[in-house]
Structure 1
Amino acid sequence: MDTPRTAVDRLLVDGSGNRPRADARRNVERLVAAARTAVAEVGVEVSAHDIARRAGVGVGTFYRRVPSREALLEAVLEDVLAEVMELADRALADPDPWHGFTTFATAYVGLRTESCGIGEALGGACGEVFEQTLADLRGRVRALVARAQEAGVLRADVAWQDVPFLLAAVATTGRTVGLTAGERQWERHLRVVLDGLRTPDPVPLPGSPPS
């Protein structure tokens, strides 16, 4: 049998094959939505009490409807990481290597900027839970970079391993040295990075690429 595709479906699977009651599904849907918002705002350390409060249910209902806080967060983050993988696959299918690369980069940074939890998951804060998913994502980033370099539209001296660090660095805090970020600050940063990746006459890079 195929693995359930959404966080709600995965959390409702009990091995019996029984169809969950409508109220049970509604509560799980509310918990998943609340968890995604909480993870975006707070990160992976968000508490069960906070998620339950945001969902408008009691903590007792929380633990009746999901196995654990960790299981709920894993299901939610798995959904978001699946979205990232889908973005990468669409980018690889784009006949224009540079357009595919930049489209992925923009969507990827947008997701990281909107959710501190996804940034933590991508950084390995969840341990080995998403190890295979992150390995698959690295493979896609490597392929995107290779396609763009083979087409001559991305500077050849950039290692594919540099790219995840560059994209992670684009996300910004709201304030620095007394200045407040603009409404589209991360998009401005990303444009500078992308122009630097495409420059036709680059200055040689110092040091060695990430491992």
Structure 2
Amino acid sequence: MPGSDSPPRADAARNRERLLHAARQALAEGDRSLQLNDVARRAGVGVGTAYRHFPTPRALLETLVQAQLDDALDQARRELAAPDPWAGLTRLLTTGIALLVSDPGFAEVLAAGTDTLPRTSQLKQELYDAVDQLLRRVRDVGALRPGVDGDDILRLMCGVSYAARLAEDTGSPAGPAGLPGPAGSPTAIGELAGRYAGWLLDALRAP
């Protein structure tokens, strides 16, 4: 019958969105395990439905962050066309670190050496390529310290975001090892990440 497939497809799409919404809530509450049984219960769907959409927690996490990967890639390509390559790198690095700090799931996927979904691998490779091209432009104008490549930049960004999130995890005015640090509020963590990003840019700039 014409249109007989529409309700199942619509139901499947709704269930998928409910699962993604539930997973986002879990991440926002600090649950990074994304166990599919728990996510299914939050979403109000059967466990079998969850596994049909996302065979593993990792597949669910990668699906969640693909929009962020798309956004990061779009920005990298915009900055590649910027008239001032160093300013473009500065914007990309600063914005990227802020996103990594606010979204630990994105940081985990970006830093991973292997991926579950082919689309994740494709987006990451395109992002690495765009960053490498931007670095070549920065290097061509003599603004970049020698020996730095795109992989270095992305790993350093992940490292800076992790260091900033340590202050959030301590939840106290004193940072790790008793060093002065913020009290763990999102605003304070963002300010700390901004300072770290500035220091990283200073280290990357050619003498």
2:85 alignment partner in structure 1: 97
Residue 140 of structure 1 aligns with which residue?
130
Alignment RMSD, CA only?
A: 3.0
> Which residue identity does 2:81 align to in structure 1?
A
Are residues 1:177 and 2:177 paired? yes
Comparing 63-72 and 111-120, the one that deviates more: 63-72
Amino acid at match of 2:64: V
Contact 1:42 1:117 in 2 (8 A): no
CA–CA distance in 2 between the matches of 1:37 and 1:91? 32
Query: Is the contact between residue 112 and residue 118 of structure 1 (CA under 8 Å) also seen in structure 2?
Result: yes
Structure 1 residue aligned with 2:195: 188
2:55 match? 68
1: distance between equivalents of 2:124 and 2:27? 19
Counterpart for residue 124 of structure 1 = 112
More helix by share: 2
**Residue 181 to residue 17, structure 1, CA distance change in 2 (3 Å):** farther
CA displacement at 1:137 relative to structure 2: 1.9
- The CA distance in 2 between the partners of 1:17 and 1:96, in whole Å, is 55
User: 1:65 Cα deviation (Å)?
Assistant: 7.2
Contact 2:36 2:51 in 1 (8 A): no
Measured in 1, the distance between the counterparts of 2:144 and 2:4 equals: 50
**Retained in 2: the 8 A contact 1:97–1:147?**
yes
Q: Tell me the CA shift for residue 119 of structure 1.
A: 1.8
Q: How far does residue 191 in structure 1 lie from its aligned partner after superposition?
A: 0.8
TM-score using structure 1 length: 0.70
Distance 1:152 1:112, change over 3 A: same
Structure 2 CA distance for aligned equivalents of residues 154 and 187 of structure 1: 20
Q: Which residue of 2 aligns with 1:4?
A: none
From 121, 125, 143, the counterpart of 1:153: 143
Match of 2:153 in 1: 163
Counterparts in 2 of 1:76-87, with a 5 A limit? 76-87=64-75
Unmatched segments (≥5 aa) in structure 1: 1-15, 202-211
Distance 2:131 2:4 in 1: 38
Residue pair 1:48, 1:62 contacting (<8 A) in 2 also: no
